[in-house]
Amino acid sequence: MTETGPAPGADAGTGTASGGADEPRAIAERARSCQGVAGLSGGPFGTVATYLPGDRLMGVSVNDRAVEIAIVATMERPLPETADEVRRAVTDLAGDRRVNVRIDDVVEGS
């Protein structure tokens, strides 16, 4: 939250591995709170994940070029709308990076 969001060069300088422990968590939290998101998914082989000391955060993968978020969506609204909302929700955290949203599964209802 305190880091300067829209400065990707500086971001890359601080290093995404060491200083970025809060960022993926914040992204995951925001993605999870979007309407139409049932939860986060690890992707087909659990590859969409952030490896943190003592923890593995499934569903969010961050590097200095792109942010990848894998979600399980609900059928209550069209999937592109859900994906757009997720993208908008994390846009200030992502800065200039692309936010790729992948929908790995759907569940009925909310």
Binding-site ranges for another protein (CB under 8 A):
44, 66-67, 73, 75, 78-80, 83-84, 87, 91, 98-106
Residue among 18 and 87 whose Cβ is closer to another protein: 87
Residue among 26 and 75 whose Cβ is closer to another protein: 75
The nearest distance, CB 74 to another protein, in angstroms, is 11
The nearest distance, CB 26 to another protein, in angstroms, is 17
Q: With beta carbons less than 8 A apart as the criterion, state whether 76 and 17 touch.
A: no
One-character DSSP codes across 9-36: HHHHHH-TTTGGGHHHHHHHHHHHTSTT
CA 24 to chain centre: 7
Residue among 46 and 78 whose Cβ is closer to another protein: 78
The nearest distance, CB 7 to another protein, in angstroms, is 17
One-character DSSP codes across 35-75: TTEEEE---TTS-SEEEETTEEEETEEE-SSEEEEEEEEET
DSSP 8-state code for residue 108: S
Residue among 18 and 68 whose Cβ is closer to another protein: 68
